[in-house]
Amino acid sequence: MKAFECKKCGTCCYGEGGILVDERETGVIAAFLNTSVETFLKIHCEARNGKRYVKSGADGYCVFFNKDRGCLIHQVKPAPCRLWPFYPALLKDPESWREAMNACPGINPDASHEDFLKEAGE
């Protein structure tokens, strides 16, 4: 039984500039977009506390979320996006994993936390 299968609903792409992007990823994403690091940072990112985050658009979704196509930088998306929903807190705490189901319809409520842990390790 699959413990997670993304439904491409975009819920996890909604919110105020919460996606951290590190220096290596900045270069990779800029190259993927065929632009310079400077332009990528200026147009698509915002700085907070000395760190860079991907911006949200006026609709509240990440600037790279497209409602028809999903993530426009899927192949090179930042680590938090690649990792979700297999975050350490959800692996460690079954209660947090259960709560995350309210936000992410891709987490299978019929699967067990053990199934989720197993899939995280695959």
Footprint on this chain of ligand SF4 (rule: CB under 6 A)? 6-13, 19, 54, 62, 64-65, 71, 73, 77-78, 81, 84, 104-106
Please report how close the Cβ of residue 50 comes to ligand SF4 at its closest, in angstroms.
21
**Which CB sits closer to ligand SF4, 52 or 77?**
77
Beta strands in the chain (DSSP E): 19-20, 45-48, 51-54, 65-66, 70-71
Distance separating alpha carbons of residues 98 and 24, to the nearest angstrom: 33
**Which CB sits closer to ligand SF4, 4 or 117?**
4
Please report how close the Cβ of residue 118 comes to ligand SF4 at its closest, in angstroms.
18
Please report how close the Cβ of residue 54 comes to ligand SF4 at its closest, in angstroms.
6
Please report how close the Cβ of residue 66 comes to ligand SF4 at its closest, in angstroms.
8
Place of tokens 């807190």: 89
Distance separating alpha carbons of residues 58 and 97, to the nearest angstrom: 30
Q: What are phi and psi of 45, to 5 degrees?
A: -125, 160
